[in-house]
Amino acid sequence: MKKPLPNEHPAYYKRYIDLISSDDILKELKEQIVNLQVLVSEISFEKENFRYQEGKWTPKEVLGHIIDTERIMAYRALRFARKDKAPLAGFDENSYVEHANFHENSINDLAHSFALMRESHIDMFKYFDEEDLNEMGNANGNEVSVRSILFMIAGHTLHHIHVIKTKYLGE
C-alpha cells in the first residue's frame, strides 16, 4: 500500500505519517503489537504512574491515550470506507485521559487491551481494498483518506513509544 499523499490528510497528520518508512502498513501495525509488549515489560512498577513533569501523562495514561485514539481513528476509517459522508467530530485527548481512570488498571492489562484492539483493527483493515483506502471523509473539519488514517494510527503509536522510551526509560 502506498503512503498517502499530502492532499489526503490535514498537515498535522504529516508528523505521524512521516514516521512510517514502510509501505506495508499492515505489517507495521502487527509489529507494533510485539514492540509495545516489549516496551511495557521494561517499565518498572514504580514508573507506571510516574509523571516526568507536572501536567504530563503517566506511562499508563500514554498507553490509554494510544488505545483511545486508535479506537476513534479506526471508527473513522470504517465510516469513510463505507462511504459515510457525515462529518465526524473531533475529540479532546486531554479530557479523555482525565476521565478514563487508566491509573486503576495495570500496565499489563492496558498492553493486553492494546493487543486485542490492534488485532481486531488489523482484521478489519485487511479487507479494505484500494477503493476503500482512497475514500475520503471529514473528521474534525478536515478531509482525510482511509489510507491516511491507517498510517496515522501507526505513526501515532510510534511517536508515543518514542516518548515512553525517552521520557520514562531514559533511552
3-state DSSP of the chain: CCCCCHHHCCHHHHHHHCCCCCCCHHHHHHHHHHHHHHHHHCCCHHHCCCCCCCCCCCHHHHHHHHHHHHHHHHHHHHHHHCCCCCCECCCCHHHHHHCCCHHHCCHHHHHHHHHHHHHHHHHHHCCCCHHHHHCEEEECCEEEEHHHHHHHHHHHHHHHHHHHHHHHCCC
pLDDT at 1 over 90: no
Q: Confidence band (pLDDT; 50, 70, 90) for 170?
A: confident
pLDDT tens profile 31-40: 999 999 999 9
User: Does domain 6-168 fall into CATH 1.20.1440.130?
Assistant: no
Domain ranges of the chain: 6-168
pLDDT tens profile 93-126: 999 999 999 999 999 999 999 999 999 999 999 9
